[in-house]
Each structure stands twice: as structure tokens, then as C-alpha cells.
């Protein structure tokens, strides 16, 4: 009993403890053990020091895990703190940039010296300085349309004729003279499919002697009167033979000369019988009516109104 009393620190002749007093002492012992635990773990010197006598109850009861966890220092994460601080600063910078972009007017960032620097730059050769605030315009002389315009080897007089030539087939078959009182039926040379004279009949019903020249500028191209004259015949429907055609009578060198325009496009005739026409007036358009193998102008020259002659040779000698 003496050994037990010395071990527990109680006197042998002390009265027995009540249950309440025993619990109070146990709690005090647990609190004292919990406070001493961090020092026992952290210090090797304290761990090697001679242990003081403790009660049996203190030896048997370990400190609660919650008390140890609360007393032990928590883990530190310096990298996480630096990342969090950097992300916060980045977010604040983005918000500030958006505020400036949406609130500062665009002209506040304009450099007033920039136009002057651009104005000092040397202009390219041939450049004419203009006021950039004024609308751009193009000015041409009144004589532009009156001047002859070269198109390859052919001469065209006006923009209207250029438009007319936009869909015409061109060939080096003849050269027209816009100033001549007698002209070819087209303002520029066009392909010729068949000449005047004997031939093999190209299709059923066609003659073996060709009394005209077949010009092939393309379907729908305007046909021009070769000289001043009076319209003597208009056939606006396809009756075979020449199909839709027009005949114009002229007086050239004191002689009656008739020009014939055959195989024209239906509905394209622009003249009527008895109408006076001028050289280059449009009489109709190229078609393929009558006895025809394709779109072309069958053109004839009839001396005295009846005698067919070679129209190519006649025009070549009269277009001056």
C-alpha cells in the first residue's frame, strides 16, 4: 500500500476520494498531459530528461486526438499563397484595363503629329495633290468623244460604237473609214463565211452561185446602212430565201445602187418602207432566218436595183 500511495502521489491515510473528486483530478491530469505533449515531441532535450512521477491514471489515459491536432501547427503552403495573390492582382489589372477602354474616347489616343508626318512623306511620281475632304471626280475634255479611238488595228469614232463592239467578232477582213460617205455594214472588220461567186450549195434550197457576201460578226450584232438612202423594201417575217430582210436604195455616182441585208433577227428591223436613212443608221440585227446555216448577214449590192455584183470588191473601191 505504501508503494501504491507513493506511485499515485496520495497519502496512505487519506480518506477515499469521491467519484466527483476523482473525475476532476482526471480532467486536470489530461489537461496537463495535453499541454506537455508538443514540448515532448519538439524537443529532444526534454524527451531525454528524467520523467517526473505521474499518476497511474495519466499513464493509462492518452491525450485526446482533437487536443493534439489543435495544439500541433498546421501545414504551410507558400506557393499557394503566392499564386492566389498573383491571380488577384491579375484580375484587378484586367478590370482596370476594361474600365479605361470603355470610358476613354478614341480621339484621346490619337496622335496629333501623325497627319503631319504622313503629309511630309514624298508623293509618288506623277501624283497630283488633292484635298482628301472633297469628293473624287473625273474631268474630261469636250473633244474626247470626237477623237478617234484605236482598237488593235481598227479605228472607232465614239463610245457608242465601242459599246456596239463589245460583243462583236473581229477579223482583219476590211478597214472601215468613219469619215467616208460609204461604209461597210459594220464599223470594224468581221469574219467572212462566204464570198461572192460559184459555190457548192451549203444546205437544201441554197443556190450554187452566191450573189452576196456572208458576214459573221455574231448573233444580234447591229447592222448599219452603208450609205444615205431610202428604204424600198421591208420583210419582217421569215418567208424562206432571205428571211427577215431590208433593201435600201441609194444614188451613188449618179446611179441607182441597192443594198440588201438578209437573214436578220426576227423583230430587229428598225426601219420602214419610205424612210430616209443616213450612213451608219441601224437597219436591224444579225440573225439566221430564211435559208441559213447559222447566224450571219447576207449582204448584196445590186446595180440599177437588179444586177448583183461582188459586194466585197465594190465596197473596197468605194470606202475611202
pLDDT number for residue 13 = 57
Rounded CA separation 220/282 (Å): 12
pLDDT number for residue 239 = 85
Q: How far apart are the first and last CA of the chain?
A: 160
The DSSP secondary-structure symbol of 18 reads P
pLDDT number for residue 166 = 65
Helix (H, G, I), strand (E, B) or coil at 235: strand
Rounded CA separation 66/68 (Å): 5
**Cell triple for 320:** 475611202
Per-domain residue ranges of the chain: 2-71, 158-318
pLDDT along the chain (320 residues), means of 10: 44 66 82 62 47 46 49 53 70 71 52 48 48 44 39 49 72 92 96 91 78 95 97 94 96 96 97 98 96 94 96 94
pLDDT number for residue 90 = 76
Q: What residues form DSSP beta bridges with 297?
A: 215
Please, are residues 155 and 148 in contact by the beta-carbon 8 Å criterion? yes
Instruction: Give the dihedral of Cα atoms 152, 156, 158, 164; nearest 10 deg.
Output: -80
Rounded CA separation 150/160 (Å): 14
**Cell triple for 118:** 504622313
pLDDT number for residue 249 = 98
Rounded CA separation 279/177 (Å): 12
- CA distances to 6, 34, 61, 183, 237 from 21, rounded to whole Å, are 19, 20, 17, 144, 139
pLDDT number for residue 118 = 44
**Cell triple for 53:** 512521477
pLDDT number for residue 102 = 59
The DSSP secondary-structure symbol of 136 reads P
Protein fold of 158-318: Glucose Permease (Domain IIA) (2.70.70)
The predicted model scores a pTM of 0.51
Q: Which residue has the cell 460604237?
A: 161
Start-end of H helices in 53-202: 56-60, 65-71, 78-103, 114-120, 159-164
Amino acid at each position: 500500500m505504501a508503494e501504491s500511495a507513493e506511485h499515485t502521489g496520495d497519502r496512505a491515510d487519506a480518506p477515499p476520494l469521491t467519484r466527483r473528486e476523482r473525475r476532476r483530478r482526471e480532467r486536470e491530469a489530461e489537461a496537463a498531459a495535453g499541454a506537455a505533449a508538443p514540448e515532448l515531441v519538439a524537443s529532444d532535450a526534454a524527451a531525454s530528461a528524467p520523467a517526473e512521477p505521474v499518476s497511474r491514471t495519466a499513464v493509462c489515459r492518452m491525450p485526446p486526438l482533437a487536443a493534439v491536432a489543435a495544439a500541433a501547427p498546421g501545414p504551410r503552403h507558400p506557393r499557394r499563397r503566392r499564386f492566389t495573390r498573383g491571380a488577384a492582382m491579375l484580375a484587378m489589372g484586367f478590370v482596370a484595363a476594361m474600365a479605361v477602354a470603355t470610358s476613354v474616347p478614341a480621339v484621346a489616343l490619337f496622335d496629333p503629329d501623325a497627319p503631319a508626318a504622313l503629309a511630309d512623306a514624298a508623293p509618288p511620281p506623277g501624283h497630283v495633290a488633292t484635298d482628301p475632304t472633297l469628293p473624287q471626280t473625273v474631268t474630261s475634255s469636250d473633244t474626247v468623244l470626237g477623237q478617234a479611238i484605236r482598237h488593235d488595228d481598227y479605228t472607232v469614232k465614239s463610245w457608242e460604237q465601242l459599246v456596239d463592239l463589245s460583243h462583236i467578232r473581229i477579223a482583219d477582213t476590211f478597214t472601215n473609214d468613219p469619215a467616208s460617205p460609204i461604209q461597210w455594214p459594220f464599223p470594224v472588220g468581221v469574219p467572212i463565211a462566204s464570198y461572192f461567186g460559184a459555190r457548192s450549195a451549203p444546205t437544201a434550197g441554197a443556190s450554187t452561185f452566191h450573189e452576196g457576201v456572208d458576214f459573221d460578226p455574231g448573233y444580234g450584232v447591229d447592222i448599219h446602212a452603208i450609205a444615205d438612202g431610202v428604204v424600198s423594201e421591208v420583210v419582217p417575217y421569215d418567208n424562206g430565201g432571205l428571211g427577215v430582210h431590208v433593201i435600201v436604195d441609194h444614188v451613188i455616182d449618179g446611179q441607182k445602187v441597192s443594198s440588201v441585208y438578209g437573214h436578220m433577227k426576227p423583230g430587229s428591223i428598225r426601219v420602214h418602207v419610205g424612210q430616209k436613212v443616213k450612213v451608219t443608221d441601224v437597219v436591224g440585227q444579225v440573225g439566221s432566218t430564211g435559208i441559213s446555216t447559222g447566224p450571219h448577214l447576207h449582204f448584196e449590192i445590186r446595180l440599177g436595183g437588179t444586177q448583183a455584183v461582188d459586194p466585197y470588191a465594190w465596197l473596197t473601191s468605194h470606202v475611202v
